[in-house]
Structure 1
Amino acid sequence: MTGHNFTPTALCWLEALLHARFGHNFELIQQAETLILMLPGSEQSICFDQLQSVFHQSRSDFSCQSWKATAEGFVAPIEDKLPAPSETKLPHPLVELKDNCTFIHYDILGLAYWMLTRLEEVGRADLDNHLRFPAISSHAFQHEYLDRPIVDEWLIILGQVIKRVWPQIELKQHKFSIKISHDVDSPSLYGFKPWLTIGRMMAGHLLKRRTLRAFLTAPYVKIGTRKQLHSADPYNTFDWLMDVSEASNLRSSFYFICGRTDPIRDADYEPEHPAIRNLMRSIHERGHDIGLHPSYGTFQKPELIKQEAERLKRICAEEGIKQAEWGGRMHYLRWEQPITLHAWADAGMHYDTTLGYADRPGFRCGTCHEYPAFDPVKQKQMTLKIRPLVVMECTVIDPAYLGLGISQAAEKRMKLLKKRCSLVEGTFSLLWHNSYFKDATCKSIYENILKR
């Protein structure tokens, strides 16, 4: 792909995206430096005549403009001013309705392509200590729109233009939803640790923290973790998590580690352990979902992700667990585009929900709607679905990241992002680890966020 031009496969992918969003089979035709959107059987069309070459490049070093929707009679879903990544200043008016062709002087579909394919991240060297592309390197963070689902916002504006051009058609309606997931890094604080480690933890509880209860709980839980996770284990919050989800008519997804490529960062449990098998069976019997959390060193190694996926599916099959779809999330949100993308597809998975940033919450892909994956390097549409991650609890709370602590400020920030997902009729995707409920306040924040 060169200049402003889309490949035929990219155009087909964009057409599929428009169908999913609006419910109609629009046709996209590239002519020189114009992209034309047509509805079969109609003489009317929409022309995008300001295509941007930056939307076909892996870079973040270009400007961002803004556009005021009400100035041209449109209604913006979140704020009146929409961020508009662009190398050039936006013309006024941005939308011109003419007899047979309505002109949009902004590359809305180029923006969607660039954001959704994560082309911005391909081949980047400005990575963090876990080799992740960080939020702070992104165009969205640098221009202060990471907390806006700007692809969704611009597609809503496009929908309003479509209604003016073809007033007789009805556009597909979407409903706000919530998806809750839990990475099972540590299903038990004590149950799977060696006795030497338990001894050190007991010493810490008694000598440093002066907590006799924790001192006594550690060996009690260790001994009692055989076929079931112990009810006294601080990390065994699984039944409570499912109770909270069911009270809100939600399904939780639990993602299990099924490999060990890093002895420090990976799990201390084996998925074949009777207690883990029983946990998986309990999750399934209660109507919740099980998925994969590939181990730390797998994100550049598709063959390892496939092995770990097969291991999970084998254990589930042995336990009589059947699911219509399989998916999950990468450990530490490690991701290299498009290698990790293909790894998930090659492992026979149906969806991935890794794509949020570890260091800042928000809309890494510019959307909170599920969409089909597309490889911007090989120019290939894939059957894998991307479910963008909006919030990971430690991203907001931990001092290493946003650092708001277990506080009203943290709750407010998460609720703001949830509200914005609602305003664009998308999905609020929240990751909260089973092991992260440090106190009653943490549980209260979690429950408050899930309330409708």
Structure 2
Amino acid sequence: MKFLLEMPGDHLAARRHAAETLLGEFLGLPLEIRVGSADRWRLCDSAANAELILPDCFFAGTRGRWLEPASLPQLPLARWYSEAELPEARHLDGGLPVLAGTPNAAGCWWLQEGRSAYLGLDLFGSAFFCLSRYEEQALEERDGHERFPASASLALRAGLLERPLLDEYLAVLCAALLRLWPGLSLPWTRGQLRFTCDIDHPYEGGSKRLSLLVRALVGDLLLRRRPQGMLARLGRVWRARRGDYTRDPNNTFDWLMQCCEAQGAQATFYIIAGHSGGAIDGCYSLDEPFLQDLLRRIHQRGHAIGLHGSYNSFRDAAVLRQERQALEAACRTAGFRAEVRAVRQHYLRWDSARTPALMEQSGFACDSTGGYADHIGFRYGTGRGFRLWDWGSGRPLALREQPLIAMEWSAIGPQYMNLGRSVAALQRLQRLKETCLRFGGDFTLLWHNSEIRSDWDRQALTALLDEDAGSPDLEQVACERYPAEAAQ
């Protein structure tokens, strides 16, 4: 069965990108798109046996104020309590927040009359808002690393950042489609876990820099009051400078790979290959024996290697290209060939207007920078991979985004969520993982090799990597509800 989607005639490329992502990429529906009514979206099958009407609210609301703060969804968001109208619509408890949409004249968010139905959610406008990071173009807030912070986002201000809102909308769309086309086959499966590691510090900095060693020794003696720790550190540095890193606390790579292998998962290790930002890009070099051996071990054990773009590379295609080529050359020196197509930016630095196009120009196929440093959750409203939007050309790129859902330091770091190494932090991460996987997204987790420092770290990471088997059937889970506290 082929579907026809009619849409208003403005912002055609943006509208098409949203529709092709939701209907074509996420649901796999054969689709033809054309311009139709000026004030609505209309989805029907090729024989016009049934139709679904949706309002055009987001794009209509931006007319005359495109990319202005006034065009953003206003708080508080309306909520649709779907139980009475469309009980099989699957979403978290507490009602479904509405980024863009409106009930019909009778006040109904869902109304079906025969083979024609009205759904009051502007799913396609909402999808473009989430996937393009529209608000990051409309707002000027940036932190000290020039990053758009979670604290400025609509999702966090509305208490929705830990909800996969776009994936919830997709589940509602599935319920609506099954009402109108009961025999339709929809690909609804449980997501998968993706473990990633950013190698900022493959070993203690004091092994290479005297200033860092002195600072650490002073901390051991005066701040932590652990003279034995100071002596142990000196012993580790003495060994490391002779090529023995077996006792270095940052050398957790074999343990990390073993944990992933026990779950049948492939890890991706993002490695810094340049120093455009100076000392902030770490103190290691790809040609040193420890790094050469590490590259070989990662490759031989079947894990993936990606580039951790240096601090200033997020706005420089030439630097990104040079670093990708340097990492590929280091792999060849280590005895194997690897085409480095995956990238994540150091410090999660990201410019939505420029970075995606620069990455594509530099030869990358997939980015996984797409999370916030200051809070875990869904920056793009989804855990699914998708093609990134390029604001410069006004078109989607071939470059794909695999959103980063959680970084360990975002949860435990005192400058961020400040949950510490606690039961509460692990519960929050586990809840986020389960919510992400249940709604069909991939839970992409970042844990630094240098942050495996305690029993809590090992137990927490082991628990998060323990992915439940099985893929629920859409109709079996259609009426499930998940605790509202998962969204808090």
Give the TM-score normalised by the residue count of structure 1.
0.92
Q: What secondary structure sits across from 1:116 in the alignment?
A: helix
- Give the whole-Å Cα distance in 2 for the aligned partners of 1:41 and 1:11: 22
User: Is the Cα contact below 8 Å between 1:50 and 1:105 reproduced in 2?
Assistant: no
Question: Which residue does 1:337 correspond to in 2?
Answer: 352
Q: What secondary structure sits across from 1:168 in the alignment?
A: coil
Offset, 1:312: 1.1
Q: What secondary structure sits across from 1:79 in the alignment?
A: coil
Q: What secondary structure sits across from 2:135 in the alignment?
A: helix
Matched, 1:68 2:73: no
Question: Which residue does 2:91 correspond to in 1?
Answer: 77
2:379 to 361, 364, 380: 364
- Give the whole-Å Cα distance in 2 for the aligned partners of 1:12 and 1:410: 36
- Give the whole-Å Cα distance in 2 for the aligned partners of 1:227 and 1:303: 36
Question: Which residue does 1:27 correspond to in 2?
Answer: 32
Q: What amino acid does structure 2 have at the position aligned with 1:288?
A: H
Offset, 1:422: 2.0
User: Is the Cα contact below 8 Å between 1:370 and 1:387 reproduced in 2?
Assistant: yes
- Give the whole-Å Cα distance in 2 for the aligned partners of 1:137 and 1:87: 23
Cα displacement string for residues 159-213 of structure 1 (whole angstroms, at most 9, x for unaligned residues): 1111111122211132321011111000001465223432443343244434344
Q: Which ranges in structure 2 are unaligned for 5 or more consecutive residues? A: 1-7, 468-488
Deviates more, 1:211-220 or 1:259-268: 211-220
Matched, 1:185 2:204: no
Deviates more, 1:140-149 or 1:15-24: 15-24
- Give the whole-Å Cα distance in 1 for the aligned partners of 2:29 and 2:340: 26
Cα displacement string for residues 52-109 of structure 1 (whole angstroms, at most 9, x for unaligned residues): 2357646446231111121213332322511112386786311222345422222111
Q: What secondary structure sits across from 1:395 in the alignment?
A: helix
Question: Which residue does 2:181 correspond to in 1?
Answer: 166
The 1:341/1:58 distance shift into structure 2, 3 A limit, reads farther
- Give the whole-Å Cα distance in 2 for the aligned partners of 1:90 and 1:445: 47
Q: What amino acid does structure 1 have at the position aligned with 2:376?
A: P
The 1:252/1:152 distance shift into structure 2, 3 A limit, reads same
1:52 to 58, 76, 80: 58
2:328 to 278, 289, 313: 313
User: Is the Cα contact below 8 Å between 2:328 and 2:338 reproduced in 1?
Assistant: no
Question: Which residue does 1:105 correspond to in 2?
Answer: 120
What's the Cα RMSD here? 2.4
- Give the whole-Å Cα distance in 1 for the aligned partners of 2:218 and 2:150: 39
- Give the whole-Å Cα distance in 2 for the aligned partners of 1:285 and 1:119: 41
Offset, 1:226: 6.3
Matched, 1:6 2:11: yes
- Give the whole-Å Cα distance in 2 for the aligned partners of 1:137 and 1:332: 18
User: Is the Cα contact below 8 Å between 1:26 and 1:40 reproduced in 2?
Assistant: no
- Give the whole-Å Cα distance in 1 for the aligned partners of 2:104 and 2:148: 29
- Give the whole-Å Cα distance in 2 for the aligned partners of 1:108 and 1:207: 58
Q: What secondary structure sits across from 2:377 in the alignment?
A: coil
Offset, 1:417: 0.5
Q: What amino acid does structure 2 have at the position aligned with 1:306?
A: R
User: Is the Cα contact below 8 Å between 1:28 and 1:35 reproduced in 2?
Assistant: no
Q: How does 1:48-447 map to 2 (within 5 A)?
A: 48-53=54-59, 54=61, 57=67, 59=69, 60=72, 62-63=74-75, 64-73=77-86, 74-79=88-93, 81-86=95-100, 92-122=107-137, 124-190=139-205, 192-225=207-240, 230-323=245-338, 326-447=341-462
Offset, 1:220: 3.5
Q: How many residues align?
A: 450
Offset, 1:389: 0.9
Offset, 1:326: 2.2
The 1:303/1:394 distance shift into structure 2, 3 A limit, reads same
Deviates more, 1:370-379 or 1:402-411: 370-379
User: Is the Cα contact below 8 Å between 1:29 and 1:36 reproduced in 2?
Assistant: no
Matched, 1:18 2:35: no
Sequence identity (%): 30
Give the TM-score normalised by the residue count of structure 2.
0.86
Q: What amino acid does structure 1 have at the position aligned with 2:74?
A: F
Question: Which residue does 1:448 correspond to in 2?
Answer: 463
